[in-house]
């Protein structure tokens, strides 16, 4: 099976086929998601919170994203891999953005990059696309700007904000973005934007009218327990299963139930006898 491309993603919208997307940060998760048939894997800067333990995505560096992108690429054989450009790796100017995006493609092996912002980054998006780097946009709640927003809140509920999001979406499409993430956007507005655009929208906390959905792996599998976002549906509760396994492991070690002969290895008894005879 050939790797999913941006053309395939666009065709999914044209065909009315919903687009599933999840984050992945390591080889094993990438293998499992890829084998399940997820068409897009995002090496998101959300790894700062769910993998590295930061309070936000702001602390994530290029080295962090590159490291995890390389691991995901080794596991994903069919899915398209998208890597986030971290905070302040593309905002200075388009040359800085081009250099860092090129690293994610060339060194990391990603097929595309994602960056946050609308009209303010449209010129940068255009420069990247012209250079042959596919770009996924991201508007609405943009986590890298959390200090500006003052918290994780829905964007676009009033006339000014909603009109700006409409302009942002169109600016990104005109600049050449092949898809746009809508985060924490009211469902009616997300639906309107999705219908107005020719490129797919990928929602997270933006309702069912988007062309696709993205979820943080650790949220949907119940691995991250610090908090559960309202927009998340937990398809599994792996944190409880893992803690239960650890508790049983402790019990088996302390009680002598593990390891058994089945998990152990023997040796030639004659060699052991010779060793025991040594001074």
Question: Catalytic positions, please?
Answer: 183
In whole angstroms, what is the distance from residue 12 CA to residue 5 CA? 11
Q: Which of 114, 94, 91 is nearest to 21 (CA)?
A: 114
258 phi and psi, to 5 degrees?
A: -145, 135
| Distance (Å, whole) CA 19 – CA 212 | 4
Residue appearing with tokens 């984050």 = 23
Whole-number Å distance between alpha carbons of 100 and 86: 9
* 3-state class (DSSP) for residue 157: coil
Tell me how long the chain is. Answer: 279
- Long-range pairs for 196-202: beta carbons < 8 A, 24 or more residues apart: 196/166, 196/169, 196/170, 197/169, 197/170, 197/173, 198/173, 199/10, 199/13, 199/173, 200/9, 200/10, 200/12, 200/13, 200/19, 201/169, 202/19, 202/21, 202/40, 202/136
102: nearest Cα among 129, 140, 123:
129
Q: What angle do CA 259, 261, 267 make, to 5 degrees?
A: 120
CA distance 98 to 238: 39
Determine the straight-line distance between the first and last CA of the chain, rounded to whole angstroms.
Answer: 63
């Amino acid at each position: 099976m050939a790797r999913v491309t941006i053309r395939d993603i666009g065709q999914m919208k044209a065909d009315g086929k919903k687009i599933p997307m999840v984050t992945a940060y390591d080889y094993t998760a990438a293998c499992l998601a890829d084998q399940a048939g997820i068409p897009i894997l995002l090496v998101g800067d959300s790894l700062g919170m769910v993998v590295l333990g930061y309070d936000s995505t702001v602390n994530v560096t290029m080295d962090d994203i590159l490291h995890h992108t390389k691991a995901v690429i080794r596991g994903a054989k069919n899915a398209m891999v998208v890597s986030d450009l971290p905070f302040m790796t593309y905002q200075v100017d388009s040359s800085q953005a081009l250099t860092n995006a090129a690293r994610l493609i060339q060194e990391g092996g990603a097929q595309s990059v994602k960056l946050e912002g609308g009209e303010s980054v449209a010129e940068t998006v255009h420069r990247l696309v012209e250079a042959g780097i596919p770009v996924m946009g991201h508007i609405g709640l943009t986590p890298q700007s959390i200090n500006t927003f003052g918290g994780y809140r829905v964007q676009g509920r009033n006339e000014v904000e909603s009109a700006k999001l409409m302009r942002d979406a169109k600016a990104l499409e005109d600049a050449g973005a092949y898809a746009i993430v809508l985060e924490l956007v009211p469902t009616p507005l997300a639906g309107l934007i999705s219908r107005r655009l020719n490129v797919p929208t990928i929602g997270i906390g933006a309702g069912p009218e988007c062309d696709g959905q993205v979820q943080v792996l650790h949220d949907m599998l119940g691995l991250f327990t610090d908090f559960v976002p309202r927009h998340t549906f937990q398809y599994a509760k792996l944190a409880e299963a893992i803690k239960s396994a650890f508790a049983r492991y402790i019990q088996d070690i302390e009680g002598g139930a593990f390891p058994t002969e089945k998990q152990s290895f023997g040796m030639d008894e004659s060699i052991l006898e010779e060793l025991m005879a040594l001074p």
